[in-house]
Chains A and B, each alone.
Chain A
Amino acid sequence: MISNRHRLLARAFLLFYAFRLSAGTPQQPASRLASSVNVNSRYIIEQVQVNGFPASKLNDSLRFKLQKLVGSAYDTEALDDLVHSLRKDLHAKNVTQHLARGSSPEMVKVILEVERRSVALDLSVPKFLYHSKQGWSAQMLASTTVARNHGFIFGLVSDGDELTERFTGIQAAYENLHVGTDRLRFRFAFEDYHQQWNRATTEALSDPTVLSPALRTDAPELYRARRNFQPSLAYAIEPSLVVTAGLSFERLQETLPYLQTEGANAFAAGLQYHQRFADENGGGSTADAAYSIRVANRALGSDYLYTRHHWTAGYIFTRGHHSLSEQMTAGYISGRAPLFERFVLGTSSLLRGWNRYEIDPLGGNRLLHNSLEYRYRMANVFYDTGSLWSRGKVPTLKHSVGVGIRQSIFSLAIAFPVRQGRVDPILMVGMNY
């Protein structure tokens, strides 16, 4: 005799089997069927050309999809997917696809015509973060492109994560995306911020024993507002290699009782490299490197005289659901730099888990940091190590570890400083940080 328990088990098994059967025979998408019957699927795609949008402005994902199609058989499904992505990512009015003969009878060329909106307004939130020690940080940008090549950006920001200070204010920029050529761009940026200082920073500046010997004689001043005008040019030597050069005229209004205005006017230049490599197994890797220099001198009317170097290098290796990333950051400042230029550890990306004001409430002028992160699907673990010091002080290496989850642009992480004594974990939640 079959017991009720066995009946239930049998029913559960039948339900499971029925589910497997229904899940195992999915409806074949129309596009898949269309691909298999398209007579051009016997030809190889020689080139995918995008007209109506500068190739240098395509994002990594689109470039990857474009590269993947070249050398493969003509596939209407993959092309439909690309057209859909182009329309979505470029906020295009329309994207039409054309097919042309290639250079030999087995090859074809795909031409994608991007029709852009005459005026497109994009709203974005490049950063949104809650940090259990530093509170909220957020940036919101509105951007529009007029007559194809003229971009206008306006943004609001309140950030207590990146620098020693919390800066709150507005950002605005004009960009010309085609100065004679798609490779050369002009940008004029304007920033206007008001500052809030942590008590640890104000106390450190008033206590000479905390300051390094170099700062005792020439300490930076606290300021209550700063305003920056920054014209610059960017030239893409290759799509993966961009060099920038410009000027930065930054005015700092000191706090009470002085209320003087000081200038931190600098020549700014940089070099950025970004390359994505795809392998045949669907995995790939991404390499990034950047160097920037800011030189403030009397020729530009600067009151602060300094040179700031900053290097970053990163490599992300992805295979299936596994991803391993390695990021290195280094910085060096010589001379007397304002507080916003000084390096910080204990942010949402550098030495996560540490309170920045415990490391150095004034920031440092020497920085070395490394971050190693492993990710499987949504879950990730990381190990950060770094040192922040100033001239005349002995560098000490600090470590932190953490775990988190990351889905698309959303992240949640808990980081722990590796040290003796009481350990306070730091929680970070947000997106794009």
Chain B
Amino acid sequence: MLRLTRRLFLLAGCSAPFTVALSAQDLSARLDSANVLHVFAPGLHFLKGKPLERLKDGATVAILGQLTLSLDANVTMATRAVARFALSYDIWEERFSVSRFAATHQETATRSASHLSPEAAETWCLDHLTVDTSVLPSGRQFWIRLELRIEDGREGNQIIGEPGINLTRLIEIFSRPARAQQQRWQLDAGPLHLADLRRSSS
């Protein structure tokens, strides 16, 4: 049983404003024709507050995303996908541009989209954070966890290189807790069955 110490209480109090955990109903999933799982979270808005201010000041804001599938209510991980998105805001067109950097050596191309509204940019990021479900045993129920965090400068220097991003370092970043001042979001869904998921062509 977790003992609520004064230190833990203070830590929870300090980090609460920076973590947004939405309810399970906010995270939905679908499968495409290749059995790749896509998530969508209409209630999740990460383009607001300080990141949005930085974007409107001309900065490039990077968001790190991790999508995890588990068979035991997110206790242990069955498979996962990680991605890094770089967003910027066009000062003249007042639209967002987003690029997803290749996370593996097999996937070398950088995908990007521009002229997006804030909501469309958020949706684009989630839609390009996908995970292969082929490792899941058929018929077993599973859980989904989506984690997003705003990258700080030190993390960026660690994970970016040629040809894209360093997958190992990106996973390492998600393996340790976010810094107190770092904005992050976490959404869980489950239990789910693959057979119950909506299927789409792409």
Contacts and interface: CB of A to CB of B under 8 A. Distances in A.
Contacts of A27: 157, 160-162
Contact of B86 (A29, A34, A96, A110): A34
Contact of B92 (A34, A98, A105): A105
Interface stretch (A38-46, A56-64, A143-151, A172-180): A38-46
Instruction: Give the size range of A's interface with the partner.
Output: 20 to 34
Contacts of B58: 38, 40, 74, 76, 79, 97-99, 108, 110
A98 B57 contact: yes
Given A40-B91, A96-B57, A29 B160 contact: yes
Nearest to B157: A30
Given A29-B157, A37-B60, A108-B58, A99 B86 contact: no
Given A28-B162, A37-B86, 10 more contacts: A27-B157, A27-B162, A28-B161, A29-B160, A33-B101, A35-B60, A98-B57, A99-B56, A99-B91, A108-B91
A33 B155 CA distance: 13
Interface residues of B, number: 26
Interface of B: 56-60, 62, 86, 88-92, 96-97, 99, 101, 110, 112, 114, 153, 156-157, 159-162
Contacts of A79: 58
A100 interface: yes
9 contacts: A29-B157, A30-B62, A30-B157, A37-B110, A37-B112, A39-B114, A74-B58, A76-B59, A105-B92
Contacts of B97: 37-39
Nearest to B56: A99
Given A100-B91, A101-B92, A33 B160 contact: yes
Given A34-B86, A39-B114, A76 B60 contact: yes
Given A76-B60, A98-B57, A99-B57, A38 B92 contact: no
Contacts of A99: 56-58, 91
Given A27-B162, A28-B161, A29-B157, A39 B89 contact: yes
A25 interface: yes
A30 B156 contact: yes
A33 B163 CA distance: 11
Contacts of A76: 58-60
Nearest to A34: B60
A105 B162 CA distance: 34
Contacts of A25: 162
A98 B160 CA distance: 25
Q: Chain B: interface secondary structure? A: mixed
A204 to B, nearest CB: 64
A32 to B, nearest CB: 8
B162 A97 contact: no
A40 B162 contact: no
Nearest to A42: B90
A105 B89 CA distance: 15
8 tightest Cβ-Cβ pairs between the two chains A and B: A99-B58, A30-B156, A39-B97, A34-B60, A27-B161, A38-B88, A37-B99, A39-B88
Nearest to B84: A33
Contacts of A98: 57-58
A267 B26 CA distance: 79
A40 B56 CA distance: 11
A394 B157 CA distance: 67
B115 to A, nearest CB: 9
A108 B92 CA distance: 9
A110 B57 CA distance: 9
B161 to A, nearest CB: 4
Contact of A97 (B57, B90, B112): B57
A25 B153 CA distance: 21
Contacts of A101: 91-92
A78 to B, nearest CB: 12
A110 B92 CA distance: 14
Interface in A1-59: 25, 27-31, 33-35, 37-40, 43
Q: Which of B56, B57, B112, B153 gathers most chain A CB within 10 Å?
A: B57
Contacts of B161: 27-28
Contacts of A100: 91
Given A76-B59, A76-B60, A33 B86 contact: yes
Q: Which of B57, B89, B92, B97 gathers most chain A CB within 10 Å?
A: B92
A40 B88 contact: yes
Contacts of B56: 99
A400 to B, nearest CB: 49
B166 to A, nearest CB: 8
Contacts of B99: 37
A74 B161 CA distance: 22
Given A97-B57, A110-B58, A30 B160 contact: yes
A27 to B, nearest CB: 4
Interface string A360-403: 00000000000000000000000000000000000000000000
Q: Which of B60, B88, B110, B112 gathers most chain A CB within 10 Å?
A: B60
Contacts of A37: 60, 86, 88, 97, 99, 110, 112
Contacts of B60: 34-35, 37-38, 76
Contacts of B159: 30
Nearest to B163: A28
Given A27-B161, A108-B91, A34 B62 contact: yes
B86 A97 contact: no
B153 A30 contact: yes
A136 B52 CA distance: 56
A110 B160 CA distance: 26
